[in-house]
Amino acid sequence: MGDVLVRLRRLAAERTSVRGIAEVVQRLRLRASFDLRPLDERSLAATAPRGRRPDCPRCAEKCCRAPHRVRLRLEDVARLLDAGLDHAVEPSPDAAEPPRLRHRDGACVFLDSNERCSIYELRPISCRAYPYQVSEARDRVRYAGACPSWIDDPNDATEDLVKLALHAYEARRKDVILLETRRGELEELGVLGPFESNRPDFETVLERKKKG
């Protein structure tokens, strides 16, 4: 377990460098579906409401119930393993997707009998940032309208929540790269499902590139 944790921590924090043409091709493939450029916080507008914050403990809607599933970032996985909570990490059935939190009886495994999060201080990045999200155009941090529960906040936590949303986006950006360039190592660690048998490998991609 210790070795797995050390390797996952390194992967979660790694800023992947380009090593050869194979990895360049992989990054070009990724750019077609996800912008890999780092976000510039200064260029983003915040359209989230000010003077209040989500009231998760009193929320009746519970985004931690089915059909919602929390996708985990690699640093989430490392944190859960460090706390001895590896039973909660479930590889996605889709090998192209990141691991997720396991459900039990239609709800997140960490939702206790009082409808409270039993690992609130260790909750995943997406849980911390929600309902604030970076827009698809990467030009603003918006409020996800699915969250109905709010509480007045005289200290105005909007700035902190915006930073959490940016952190969540940056963690996703790093994971998108790592899921492609370090997939074999992640599968070996058991945090991903099996690699798709019909997905082209580096050599196939390079051959197609030469012919194209």
Which tens digits make up the pLDDT trace of 54-110?
777 777 566 788 777 888 888 888 888 888 888 888 887 766 677 889 998 888 999
> Which comes out higher in pLDDT, residue 180 or 139?
139
Task: Report whether pLDDT(118) > 80.
Answer: yes
Alpha carbon 199 to its chain centroid, in Å, reads: 22
Rounded Cα gap, residues 182 and 191, in angstroms = 12
Task: Report whether pLDDT(29) > 60.
Answer: no
Query: Does residue 131 contact residue 146 with C-beta atoms inside 8 Å?
Result: yes
Task: Report whether pLDDT(208) > 70.
Answer: no
The pLDDT of residue 104 is: 86
Which of 18-22, 34-38, 93-97, 168-172 is predicted least confidently?
18-22
Task: Spell out the domain ranges in the chain.
Answer: 2-211
| Tokens coding 159 | 């700035």
